[in-house]
Amino acid sequence: MLNDGVKLCLAGGVLGAALGYLAAKMLEKRKAEETCEVLFFPDVSVQTFDRKHFSQPSFKTSTNMEIDGGSSLAKLLHYLRSSKRSIDVCVMIFTCHEFASELIKMKKSGVQIRVIVDRNNMDAPGCQIGRLREAMIPVRGKAQSSIMHHKFAIVDSSMLINGSFNWTGSAVFANNENVVISNHNKLVEAFIQEFNKLWKFHAL
């Protein structure tokens, strides 16, 4: 017959094994849910701006231009469209009509959107800031003499989109650009803090 000490040891061993199993399962689930992807431009999505239609598979921008569903542009739009609550955008220059249309469409669906741009580029040819403000999307220009050179966006305070990519047509179809997508907590939180700092101290 087992004494109380042995029973406690056995119970502790079983409990420890159970906790270890649960911890391993939680870690496995978290890894499975992690997002880490790199997108490169230009790619076949360049054709979207020439209004060439693709059929395998079909993916459309907000203005119903069909694009290759496996392209970097389609993937980038997919991540942006995954937003349920908010999108914060911080880019040096914003001239791409399609990206502005995407944000305006999401704004109408109830997503809260904020945009920060470099003030010196707010009058650039094709700048979309006027359209965004007409749609009641708040935009602020960073007030300093040097360049606001960031190019990132935060989706639902949980997904980071960051790289060399300004929101311009040239970035999509001409320039060599990179975009990193990540939901790593520490990375996302660092960019949230940076965005909020710029939003607070550099209002236009």
Q: What is the pLDDT of residue 195?
A: 97
Domain range summary for the chain, segments of one domain joined by +: 1-33, 35-201
The model's pTM: 0.80
Residues 72-115 pLDDT 10s? 999 999 999 999 999 999 999 999 999 999 999 999 999 999 99
Mean pLDDT in residue range 2-23: 54
151 is catalytic: yes
pLDDT in tens, 124-164: 889 999 999 999 999 998 777 889 999 999 999 999 999 99
Distance CA 65, CA 53 (A): 7
- Which of the four pLDDT bands, split at 50, 70 and 90, describes residue 5? low
The b/e string for 192-203 (b: 16+ C-beta within 10 A; e otherwise) is eeebeebbeeee
149 is catalytic: yes
The answer, yes or no, to whether residue 8 has pLDDT greater than 70, is: no
Structure confidence by residue, pLDDT tens digits, 26-77: 555 555 578 999 999 987 666 666 554 444 456 788 888 778 888 899 999 9
The pairing of strands 66-68 and 86-91 is unpaired
Q: How far is CA 133 from the centre of its chain?
A: 21
Considering 43, 105, 156, 202, which one is annotated as catalytic? 156
**Residue of higher predicted confidence among 90 and 22:** 90
Mean residue pLDDT across the chain: 83
In the chain, the amino acid numbered 113 is I
Per CATH, domain 35-201 is 3.30.870.10: yes
Residue of 25, 29, 108, 149 with catalytic role: 149
pLDDT at 173: 86
Whether residue 200 lies in the annotated active site: no
Burial, 135: exposed, middle or buried (Cβ in 10 Å; 0-12, 13-18, 19+)?
A: middle
83 sits in which H/E element: none
Regarding beta strands 86-91 and 151-155, do their DSSP bridges make them parallel or antiparallel, or are they unpaired?
antiparallel
* Measured distance CA(137)–CA(112) in Å, rounded: 8
Q: Which of 151, 184, 186, 197 is catalytic?
A: 151
